[in-house]
């Protein structure tokens, strides 16, 4: 009767699989063929969780040596309420620290992000899609917010999380866990 314990163990494993599944955000599913979760993690500031992040990639994955080579998505689920203008300003501060763009670029990018990024509440999802050779497209809870058609901006913006010099190295490592 060794078969019965084996069957019971298999049933337990099969029941656990749906709990391990990760739902693909609608914009990611719509924008990226064969999307798969490359990695995920949380961003904390002085111990407070700000958001959970997921990096989604397609067939070509994400190549740190050539980040502009393929479409990918960064999905953020906020853990607290934040003002959109603050999100935009913090993004520009991080872009500046990384050395992307000029002060003129920063002014233009800040205005575009302030116009695009809404205030968020706990549970709000913002998905950013990197569009190689075009720019970036953003979604709020699955609905299109808009695009910034500027390749320099897109590269700088996603570098906040994915550049080796990011201030959030632990999150970067989690996002890139299986990106290639």
State in words which class domain 24-175 has.
alpha beta
**DSSP 8-state code for residue 73:** E
Percent of the chain surpassing pLDDT 90: 77
User: How far apart are alpha carbons 76 and 78 in whole angstroms?
Assistant: 6
Task: Choose the weakest-confidence range: 4-8, 37-41, 90-94, 133-137.
Answer: 4-8
What is the structure's pLDDT at 25? Answer: 93
Domain limits of the chain?
A: 24-175
Which tens digit of pLDDT belongs to each residue from 70-112? 899 999 999 999 999 999 999 999 999 999 999 999 999 999 9
| pLDDT at residue 16, rounded to an integer | 36
Q: Which pLDDT score, from 0 to 100, does residue 158 have?
A: 97
Q: How confident is the model at residue 2 (pLDDT cuts 50, 70, 90)?
A: low
Residues ≥6 apart with Cβ < 8 Å to 171: 41, 42, 43, 53, 161
Indicate if the pLDDT at residue 114 is higher than 70: yes
Q: What is the pLDDT of residue 178?
A: 78
Q: E-strand spans in the chain?
A: 36-45, 48-57, 72-78, 125-131, 135-140, 143-148
The per-residue pLDDT for range 9-50, each reduced to its tens digit, is 333 333 333 334 578 999 999 999 999 999 999 999 889 999
Looking at every residue in the chain, the average pLDDT score rounds to: 88
Pair 77, 52: CB distance under 8 Å: yes
Residue 123 reports pLDDT greater than 70? yes
Q: pTM of the full predicted structure?
A: 0.84
- Spacing of C-alpha 164 from chain mean position: 16
Write down the pLDDT at residue 165: 96
């Amino acid at each position: 009767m060794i078969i019965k314990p084996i069957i019971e163990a298999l049933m337990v494993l099969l029941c656990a699989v749906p709990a391990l599944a990760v739902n693909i955000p609608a914009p990611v599913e719509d924008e990226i063929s064969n999307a798969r979760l490359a990695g995920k993690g949380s961003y904390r500031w002085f111990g407070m969780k700000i958001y959970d992040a997921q990096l989604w990639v397609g067939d070509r994955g994400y190549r740190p040596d050539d980040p502009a080579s393929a479409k990918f998505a960064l999905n953020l689920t906020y853990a607290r309420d934040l003002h959109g203008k603050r999100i935009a300003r913090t993004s520009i501060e991080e872009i500046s620290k990384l050395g992307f763009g000029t002060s003129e670029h920063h002014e233009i990018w800040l205005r575009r992000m302030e116009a695009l990024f809404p205030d968020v509440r706990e549970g709000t999802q913002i998905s950013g899609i990197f569009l190689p050779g075009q720019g970036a497209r953003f979604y709020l809870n699955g609905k299109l917010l808009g695009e910034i058609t500027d390749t320099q901006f897109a590269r700088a913006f996603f570098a906040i999380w994915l550049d080796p010099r990011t201030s959030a190295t632990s999150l970067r490592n989690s996002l890139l866990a299986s990106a290639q």
